[in-house]
């Protein structure tokens, strides 16, 4: 950004971002390259800053001889970056919801197939399937997906399903007795 700027302390000039004059502490910088116009326009559109959008409709910042305080330009860029990160998180939230809906549908379907048996699900297996499905959707799995969070989300959406701690495993079942029997059987094997 330093190559794009000329410092100016003229009292008659104001910052196009805040409509404030330059001072000894806050120097105004003159827009010198078309790239700054492009970036400011992207930020203004993303942050819905109508004042900047209206000003840019009159021309680019270089042609308008627009001046700005570096502090406010950086603040605009940072606000834009936060908005982009929030959008990414929201998109990831939707992408994380899709495999969850699939798991919940699967659990309900298995339960409805044979009403005489109580299906049992190992949370570790569900977590692995969930993680694999998220990766298939090209969502970055930068953070570890927590067992507890997944368990709580599944339990909140499947009526009658219960979690049972069996040693180091967590078993999800509609019947506590069946979960215990499966655990005891696994110890014998």
**Chain mean position to CA 145:** 14
At 23, give phi and psi (nearest 5°): -135, 180
pLDDT tens sequence across 14-53:
888 876 666 656 688 888 888 988 888 888 888 788 888 8
In a domain, 92, yes or no: no
Of 36, 60, 82, the one marking the end of a domain is: 82
| 9 and 77 co-located in one domain | yes
Structurally, the chain folds into a number of domains equal to 2
pTM of the model: 0.45
- What would the two tokens of residue 163 be? 């979690």
Is 73's pLDDT higher than 60?
A: yes
* Distances, alpha carbon 28 to alpha carbons 8, 17, 45, 68, 88, in Å: 5, 11, 23, 5, 34
Distance CA 63, CA 161 (A): 66
């Amino acid at each position: 950004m330093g190559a794009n700027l000329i410092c100016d302390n003229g009292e008659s000039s104001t910052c196009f971002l805040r409509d404030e004059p330059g001072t000894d502490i806050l120097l105004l910088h003159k827009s010198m390259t078309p790239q700054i116009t492009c970036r400011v326009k992207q930020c203004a559109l993303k942050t819905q800053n109508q004042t900047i959008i209206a000003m840019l409709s009159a021309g680019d910042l270089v042609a308008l001889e627009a001046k700005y305080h570096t502090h406010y330009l950086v603040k605009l860029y940072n606000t834009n970056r936060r908005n982009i990160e929030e959008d990414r998180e929201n998109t990831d939230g939707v992408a994380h919801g899709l495999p969850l809906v699939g798991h919940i549908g699967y659990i309900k379907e298995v339960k409805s197939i044979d009403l005489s048996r109580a299906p049992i699900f190992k949370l570790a297996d569900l977590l692995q399937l969930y993680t694999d499905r998220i990766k298939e959707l090209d969502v970055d799995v930068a953070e570890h997906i927590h067992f507890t969070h997944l368990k709580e989300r599944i339990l909140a959406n499947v009526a009658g399903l219960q979690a049972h701690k069996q040693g180091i495993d967590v078993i999800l079942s509609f019947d506590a007795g069946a979960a215990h029997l499966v655990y005891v059987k696994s110890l014998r094997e």
